[in-house]
Structure 1
Amino acid sequence: MTALPDWMRPPRAEGWFAEDLDRLPEAPRHTELIDGALVFMMSPQRSWPGRLVTGLTVALMEQAPETMEVEREMTIRLDARNRPEPDLLVTTAAYDPERTWYEPADVSLVVEVVSPESAHRDRTVKLRKYAEAGIPHYWCVEDEDGAPAVHVYELDEPTALYAPAGIFRGSLHRPVPFEISIDLDKLTPPRGARKGPDSPEPDPL
């Protein structure tokens, strides 16, 4: 058995707290804190989720009003023991190049793209935690044979629970948190797609 590196040992008997993530430069990228436990993205990143998140980021940035910013892979400090890192978020907070996390009150929309290792957290744990923190809108994106299916939820404030607001395939049109219209089929190429014989070659460097 290999001994754990020192940085993986909790700094106190109570375990990890949200502020501890900023003191772990050795931790793998995309480390989250869920219920006081560190969660790592250990498997290699597949191409499909990365392309999808990039496509969604560009689409939302093009349509977001000037009062909103679009960020990817930034943590949200839900409380002292929870600091998840969604794939994408929309915030009303002003841009700060030194920022490492957001408050829930500043987040209007959270987007999670489901992977095999994140499926339980995205579909159940984060669904509950983002709602309890008061984040108004949550999208959970599923891979349906290479095509994105966006499960949209809206916060029901009296119960602090998310209510399903639709499953979108092919295209997504939403009036909140701002007017959004996205051609989902154009976000990622279909499985097995290859460059055709008539496709232009890239310019040489």
Structure 2
Amino acid sequence: MGALMTAAEPLPAWAVPPPGGFTAEDLDRIPDLPPHTELIDGSLVFVSPQKYFHSLTMFLLEAGLRATVPEHFGVVREMALKLGRRNRPEPDVMVLRAEAVTDEAEETGYRAKDAVLVIEVVSPDSEERDRKRKPQLYAEAGIPHFWRVEKGEGRHPVVHVYELDTTTGAYVPTGIHRDRLKLPVPFDIDIDLTAIDRL
């Protein structure tokens, strides 16, 4: 007796992009998208499983920022950021203007003008996006501060700090921090990066 042939399951609607690509609003309407799906240049980007370093680093930076953040700012993690019609990335950590975060906490994302600092922890599958395309998009959107975090020795994070040059509209590097992240902007920040060993 021959093997039974079964019909292939139909592709989900989001597997085929519409003409011109997807839009930021599509992410809220498409059912059953994988968690943490991003939109970059009209294309859906699916996130691979995180490594433990990524999770530890996000926790360390989020906790460090929350320890010193002034009342007029808020700290969020893994939330969508609408940069325009065709771009809606999900930074690992963000500092936002406090008025963007509602008391009801029902928002699914924020606007570029709400963001003061965006942080990307580089993963092997997102190196190109985190090092090149996302910083371009954040700078073009006018976000004043950007941090790119790379894995150093062991589990130690290395934080590359950038500020927006409003004349050129591009980020300029202002420092590389390995053991301690001490900055005066966007507010007084002092994070012991070696504390990751105690997490």
User: What does the per-residue CA deviation read over 1:45-99, in whole Å, with 9 as the maximum and x for residues that have no partner?
Assistant: 2111101101111111111001100000011111100000000000004222111
Residue range with higher mean Cα deviation, 69-78 or 13-22: 13-22
Give the partner amino acid of 2:84: D
Superposed displacement of residue 8, structure 1: 2.6
Q: Distance in 2 between matches of 1:29 and 1:110?
A: 20
Q: Distance in 2 between matches of 1:110 and 1:101?
A: 13
Superposed displacement of residue 187, structure 1: 2.5
2:125 alignment partner, SS class: coil
| Partner of residue 70, structure 2 | 65
Q: Closer, same or farther in 2 for the Cα pair 1:89/1:188, shift >3 Å?
A: farther
2:84 aligned with 1:75, yes or no?
Answer: no
| Partner of residue 124, structure 2 | 116
Q: What are the residue-to-residue correspondences of 1:165-176 with 2, within 5 Å? A: 165-176=174-185
Residue range with higher mean Cα deviation, 170-179 or 90-99: 90-99
Residue ranges of structure 2 left out of the alignment (5+ in a row): 1-7
2:179 aligned with 1:182, yes or no?
Answer: no
8 Å Cα contact 1:76/1:103 also seen in 2: yes
Alignment partner for residue 99 of structure 1, among 107, 115, 133? 107
- RMSD between superposed Cα atoms in Å: 1.6
Corresponding pairs, count: 188
Residue ranges of structure 1 left out of the alignment (5+ in a row): 191-205
Q: Distance in 2 between matches of 1:71 and 1:126?
A: 18
8 Å Cα contact 1:56/1:187 also seen in 2: no
Superposed displacement of residue 28, structure 1: 0.9
What TM-score does the superposition give when structure 2 sets the normalisation length? 0.89
Q: Which is richer in helix?
A: 2
| Partner of residue 32, structure 2 | 26
Between the two structures, name the one with larger relative contact order (CA 8 Å, sep ≥ 6): 2
| Partner of residue 128, structure 1 | 136
8 Å Cα contact 1:51/1:188 also seen in 2: no
User: What does the per-residue CA deviation read over 1:167-204, in whole Å, with 9 as the maximum and x for residues that have no partner?
Assistant: 001001100000000100102459xxxxxxxxxxxxxx
Q: Distance in 2 between matches of 1:17 and 1:186?
A: 40
1:118 alignment partner, SS class: helix
1:187 alignment partner, SS class: helix
| Partner of residue 53, structure 2 | 48
Q: Distance in 2 between matches of 1:66 and 1:19?
A: 30
| Partner of residue 20, structure 2 | 14
| Partner of residue 89, structure 1 | 94
8 Å Cα contact 1:48/1:188 also seen in 2: no
Superposed displacement of residue 24, structure 1: 2.5
User: What does the per-residue CA deviation read over 1:93-133, in whole Å, with 9 as the maximum and x for residues that have no partner?
Assistant: 42221111111111000000001001110110011111111
